[in-house]
Amino acid sequence: MKTSIIGYPRIGGLRELKFASEKYFRREITQEELESEARKIRLYNLNIQKDSGIDLIPSNDFSYYDGVLDTAFLFGAVPARYTELGLSELDTYFAAARGYQGEKGDVKALAMKKWYNTNYHYMVPEIDDDTQIRLSGSKPFDLFTEALENGVKTRPVIVGAYTFLKLARYKGEKKAADFAAQTAKAYADLLDRFAGLGAEWVQFDEPSLVKDMTAEDIKLFVSLYEKILPGKKSVKVLLQTYFGDVRDCYKEICALDVDGIGLDFTEGRKTFDLVFNNGFPKGKVLFAGVVNGKNIWRNDYAKTCLTIEGIKDKASEIVISTSCSLLHVPCTLRNETKLPDNIRKHFAYAEEKLTELAEIRKIVESEHPRETSEYQRSVSLHTEVRSGTNEAVREKVAKLTDKDLVRLPEFAERERIQKERFGLPLFPTTTIGSFPQTAEVKKTRKAFRSGEISAEEYDRFIEKKIADCVALQEKIGLDVLVHGEFERNDMVEYFGECLDGYIFTEKAWVQSYGTRCVKPPVIWGDISRAKPMTVRWAKYAQSLTKKPMKGMLTGPVTILNWSFPREDISLKESAFQIALAIREEVLDLEANGISVIQVDEAALREKLPLRRSDWREDYLDWAIPAFRYVHSGVRPETQIHTHMCYSEFADIIRDIDDMDADVITFEASRSDLAILDVLRENNFRTEVGPGVYDIHSPRIPSKDEIKTAIGKMLGRIPASKLWVNPDCGLKTRGIEETVPSLENLVAAAREARNENS
């Protein structure tokens, strides 16, 4: 058996590529200097794979920004507005990635979208009616040659034709199928070039095959490959899938003239059954994704061995591989200096996963796999009782019944009680929570963290910020106030730091998009609330005003989705543990006189399964109840808000209503208010604040513009249910634009109020 991986992280163990790129953007280094840094990373990655015992090493998994964008450039699918700037090749590429504003012109970047169910984002290729798709770039060939010159014959990785056409946005009349012939030709030409260079394998990444596929999709996929594959000559083609199973097209894949098929045995719920029940085509190599490319835990060799043993007789040749590219995990544990040994030994980042692949190969090839020391070490690691078990939490979660997940009295009755209690005007105004995190705020937090100023000094600073923020909101005339979230660095990290069961790493950076990386906290043990997390600030803020002060929390699903989750208990169980902790905070806020509490679920949609048929059972059936558990214990007169950062919830609208919040605010300003029709059609009962202006831009919306937005909303939402607010938190905005924007918002709401009462 051989070992391989689908791709390796390219930012560098200490984010070298990020820093070099940003310097290049600021013109502090030259293109040559950036290229040299990039080459260093590539060669390091090449050598570490070789040294760890990886047999088949990929290339072209490197990218200056994003692999889909690379593919668009490779095949000439680049909108003219970028090429016409007359910049260098690299700068044209960066213009498409990040936008360009300078002496040569002013263009926005391509759209960016979430990469399947990960927190990585890709650039959406734009194709219009006269786009000519043809092989025009040279990057994959250059990188193949570079690796060859360094002694390794790699397997170049390219986004596959089907996935590429599915991800593109079509600006004209033509659709994906209209580009099938030229796309297939371009890919065939690519294979031809690689044959000439002496490549043995080429890998086509086709994650779109794990999504629900229509008959038309399958037809497009098959027709593409029937045209591409005859051109492959001496090159072997690996059709690589990941992020799920290929249940809709397994038969068709097996029938293609490809030489290898890559399947995900980790996230693909049906992958094992597909292979076990249907067999695997003779003469093809099965690249078995058994090492999780999305999480940071050590592989459970006992489980992996069972998987490999179960399919061994089905395929004539198996390559042991990762479930997806290692892009989604941090580079190396080497730079983690503070993890205690008993925890560290459970971790495997990209580099450590390479070793795991080699160990798995050794185990399955040995005569008595279960007697190998590697196997036994893994078994004891995975059976040992981990620290961080909290019996009380486990028991509480185990004992939950349906009754605990329902808030009473039901919505309409609460709405009546709350209208009476708060006596808010029509179209109440509020904000989403954070106020500008100025340089001063960040600097002071840093000073506190490094011990330069004392906790008392820091607390006094935060109090001052809160007092100013409350005074400002009163002056502007908002109806429901917030404290401003000055004490928070990040909406998940802040809570993670206050909860028992979380671990923080130093260097576990993962690319989110371009040069932006995130460092998700790790859920290690059972989650519990060590102490009140927000009560002190909420109470202080409320003491400064007679208006209702919103308590601000992050919800359990968002906290879970933006962390590395455990694998030794289910996501559902973790979600309920976090929900229990947040619930305690909610009740504590209520007991301390906070009458409105917002529980943000910014990332609710993030981990929605890729297949619609899995939505309920795998996700919504526990995610929505976990949210309900957070607030089911409050009194009828306490008002629960939630917030989501997007408006794409037409397809889960019932579930959103089922969260049973009293008010929901969300992003609507950039999505032409289409969601409002959906709300009306579904008799959405939760009160709504569809953001009336876009906080992602420094622009100040005029009063009239906001009034127009309110007017459009009123056509679709009963006046008694409409709130007026920006579409997200103001943390990234400057105070200069925030004040006039909110003043205009309040003025617009007042006018609308007068006209409608």
Contacting positions for ligand GLN (CB under 6 A)? 432-434, 485, 491, 552, 600, 602, 643, 645, 728-729, 731
Place of tokens 């894949």: 253
Token code pair at residue 132? 């000519």
Least distance to ligand GLN, CB of residue 727, Å: 9
C-beta closer to ligand GLN: residue 61 or 600: 600
Helix or strand holding residue 677 (H, E)? helix 674-681
C-beta closer to ligand GLN: residue 158 or 599: 599
CA 725 to chain CA centroid, Å, is: 25
In the bound complex, which residue of the shown chain has the CB atom lying closest to ligand GLN?
A: 729
Least distance to Zn ion, CB of residue 333, Å: 33
First to last CA, the chain: 76
Three-state DSSP class for 580? helix
| Contact between 118 and 294 (Cβ < 8 Å) | yes
C-beta closer to Zn ion: residue 324 or 640: 640
C-beta closer to ligand GLN: residue 66 or 485: 485
Least distance to ligand GLN, CB of residue 598, Å: 7
Least distance to ligand GLN, CB of residue 645, Å: 5
d(CA 79, CA 105): 14
Phi, psi (5° rounding) for residue 603?
Answer: -110, 25
Token code pair at residue 500? 């028992």
Phi, psi (5° rounding) for residue 383?
Answer: -105, -15
Place of tokens 């006094």: 460
645 binds Zn ion (CB under 5 A): yes
Partner touching 193 among ligand GLN, Zn ion, none, CB below 5 to 8 Å by kind: none
Active-site pick, 121, 328, 631, 696? 696
Least distance to ligand GLN, CB of residue 588, Å: 18
Place of tokens 């000073």: 447
| Contact between 258 and 224 (Cβ < 8 Å) | no
Token code pair at residue 201? 């394998």
Q: Which of residues 687-746 bind Zn ion (CB under 5 A)?
A: 728
C-beta closer to ligand GLN: residue 72 or 602: 602
Partner touching 158 among Zn ion, ligand GLN, none, CB below 5 to 8 Å by kind: none
Token code pair at residue 418? 């709350």
| Contact between 85 and 176 (Cβ < 8 Å) | no
346 part of the active site: no
| Encoded amino acid at 423, one letter | G
d(CA 378, CA 367): 18
Helix or strand holding residue 82 (H, E)? helix 80-83
Alpha-helical (H) ranges within 544-620 are 556-561, 571-591, 612-615
d(CA 626, CA 606): 16
- Using CB under 5 A, count the residues that bind Zn ion: 2
Partner touching 286 among ligand GLN, Zn ion, none, CB below 5 to 8 Å by kind: none
C-beta closer to ligand GLN: residue 628 or 731: 731
CA 104 to chain CA centroid, Å, is: 34
C-beta closer to Zn ion: residue 260 or 691: 691
Least distance to ligand GLN, CB of residue 432, Å: 4
- Supply the DSSP symbol for 748: H
Least distance to ligand GLN, CB of residue 479, Å: 17
Binding site for Zn ion (CB under 5 A): 645, 728
Q: Which residues are catalytic?
A: 696
